[in-house]
Amino acid sequence: MKNGVMMQYFEWNLPNDGLLWKKLKEDAVNLHQLGITAVWIPPAYKASEQKNQGYAAYDLYDLGEFYQKETIRTKYGTKAELIDAIEELHKYRISVYLDVVFNHKIGADQKEKFIAVKVDPENRTIEISDPAEIEGWTQFNFSGRKGRYSPFTWHSYHFTGIEIENSKEDKHIYRITGENKHWSQDVDKEKGNFDFLMGADVDHKHPDVISELNNWGNWVVKELHLDGMRLDAIKHISSAFIHQFVDHIKTSNNPNFYFVGEYWKADLLTLENYLKTVDYSIDLFDVPLHYNFREASMSGDKYDLRKLFSNALVARSPSHAVTFVDNHDSQQGSSLESEVECWFKPLAYALILLRKDGYPCLFYGDYYGIGCQEPVQKNLLKILLEARQKHAYGEEKLYLSSPNVIGLVRYGDNGRPNSGLATLISNHDTNLSLMMNVGLQKAGEKWIDLTGSVKQAVEIGKDGIAEFHVLARNFSVWAKWGNTRKHFIGISDILKRIKSKCRK
Ligand code: CA
């Protein structure tokens, strides 16, 4: 879809109230009006405990339907509520992508005995004990589901390894041994072999596992009418498995079924190699770009803004990069904490929402407010989303003459009146300006800063050139004066509200 925007519709610390699916349903019309064209929903199946975010995956077939783990609903609600929400989203042509946790299972029903070797946690290819029988949580019976949808039960031989924790100090990673049993080799090479992440590590080479997960994939696509999947933790999963799974789902359902993978690594080459390995059948989150945003946000005017995209996936594989500012893993207090500082977030969003390349993903936490509590933030995001819908079309040109202020021009589409825009991003501590050419056909037009931060309109010169301004450590988005007046009303209202708060 032209100028599509994905929204990650959850954050790490949502309350365990079972209300997310209901909220999502009620929000569908609002999301549509905002310009959201797809939502990425959290893992929607039964986790090891109700309050878990879903990444401690227990039973993929229990979408909040069976009494298991002392609950029918998940943290987010029941299966019926989820189906309702998806139906509502589809009314507004919003696609739904499910978060899929294939790497591990957690919350086994029974312990089993099996032969395993202890491995060095820092290099999992090094064995630090002889093979011996151990006991671990590897049997998943799903007795509350009673074989509905799938009779498959999981046992130690369906896993490659397991972490056994007797206490915080007495914690070990074991590799389960047996015929044809080893870590998958086609995984990330960090820690020698990064197949193991947590819990009971699923063996994606086991033929019964492959067919069970393929069957589940087709089942869940049909059951929920999904449009796509976000594949969790793929650097810990056999790339051959992922490749065949993606092919299987596309072939069985829809060649345009959408996949984005989470390969959490800031190394561009690794991401590019992964895309090649899976034959460009999926997109990847642009993790290097996220870390650039993070660094820029922490470095103030010491950061050369021209470097922001230099090692980014979107610069190298523009049609396979999902650009984002933050997510549930990078937010404060979470596992991969690397949050972009508040002042820079709107600037980063301006770049991912207004540039031509990349599939931008808006984080629930950034829109609804966690960490950065200024009310202006949500309104700035609204302005940017509207600018993306109305103005961010056509070819682009970057102005990169200065390390502290960069300019972006979109020339617009002939078929879209008022399309075209000019953006300035600045990390400098004084107000600055740039001369930019927005095209001869715009000569004589009056352009305004949609964010309302620069009050003075500019007139585009006969040659298509004008001087555009930006305030210190801020951004501005310039477009033709016309149907955008309401922003000024919105912004001035907000400023009034802030002022009255300050007075109190
Ligand atoms: Ca694994």
For residues 433 and 436, give the distance between their C-alpha atoms in angstroms, rounded to a whole number. Answer: 9
Q: What letter would DSSP give residue 74?
A: B
Q: Give, to the nearest 10 degrees, the angle between helix 268-277 and helix 239-252.
A: 50
For residues 240 and 281, give the distance between their C-alpha atoms in angstroms, rounded to a whole number. Answer: 12
Q: What is the CATH number of the domain that holds 419?
A: 2.60.40.1180
Residue 59 Cα to chain centre, angstroms = 23
State the pLDDT confidence band at 371, using cuts at 50, 70 and 90.
low
Identify which has the larger pLDDT, 389 or 330: 389
Spatial strand order in the sheet of 475-480:
396-399, 405-410, 421-426, 475-480, 446-449, 458-459
Span 430-467, pLDDT tens digits: 999 999 999 999 999 999 999 999 999 999 999 999 99
Span 389-408, pLDDT tens digits: 999 999 999 999 999 999 99
Distance 195 CA to ligand 1 centre (A): 4
Whether residue 478 lies inside any domain: the answer is: yes
State the pLDDT confidence band at 376, using cuts at 50, 70 and 90.
low
Q: Give, to the nearest 10 degrees, the angle between helix 268-277 and helix 287-299.
A: 160
State the pLDDT confidence band at 3, using cuts at 50, 70 and 90.
very high
Distance 102 CA to ligand 1 centre (A): 8
Is residue 312 within 8 Å of 342, Cβ to Cβ?
no
Percent of the residues in the chain that have a pLDDT greater than 90, as a whole number? 88
Whether residue 450 lies inside any domain: the answer is: yes
pLDDT for position 281: 98
Q: Which residues are catalytic?
A: 232, 262
Distance 410 CA to ligand 1 centre (A): 43
Whether residue 350 lies inside any domain: the answer is: no
Whether residue 466 lies inside any domain: the answer is: yes
Whether residue 17 lies inside any domain: the answer is: no
Is residue 76 within 8 Å of 44, Cβ to Cβ?
yes
pLDDT for position 60: 98
| Strand 446-449, strand 458-459: pairing | antiparallel
Whether residue 296 lies inside any domain: the answer is: no
Lookup: tokens for 193: 């072999």
Span 89-122, pLDDT tens digits: 999 999 999 999 999 999 999 999 999 999 999 9
Query: Tokens 């819990």 — which residue?
Result: 199
- Nearest Cα to Cα of residue 450 among 489, 404, 414, 496: 489
Q: Return the H-helix or E-strand segment holding 135.
A: strand 132-139
Whether residue 456 lies inside any domain: the answer is: yes
Tell me the β-bridge partners of 104: 201
Burial of 425 (C-beta count, 10 Å sphere; 0-12/13-18/19+): buried
Is residue 115 within 8 Å of 135, Cβ to Cβ?
no
Average pLDDT over residues 225-236: 98
Residue 473: which domain range?
Answer: 396-501
pLDDT for position 88: 98
CB neighbours of residue 172 within 10 Å = 16
How many distinct structural domains can be found in the chain? 1
Span 33-47, pLDDT tens digits: 999 999 999 999 999
Reply yes or no on whether the pLDDT at 148 is more than 70.
yes
Residues around ion ligand 1, judged by CB within 5 A, are 103, 195, 201, 236
- Nearest Cα to Cα of residue 129 among 64, 170, 93, 175: 175
- Our separate counts of H helices and E strands in the chain read 11, 25
Distance 164 CA to ligand 1 centre (A): 16
Query: Tokens 């629930």 — which residue?
Result: 364
Q: Return the H-helix or E-strand segment holding 437.
A: strand 432-437
Lookup: tokens for 331: 């937010």
Distance 147 CA to ligand 1 centre (A): 25
Reply yes or no on whether the pLDDT at 497 is more than 90.
no
Q: Give, to the nearest 10 degrees, the angle between helix 376-390 and helix 345-354.
A: 10
Whether residue 159 lies inside any domain: the answer is: no
pTM score: 0.94
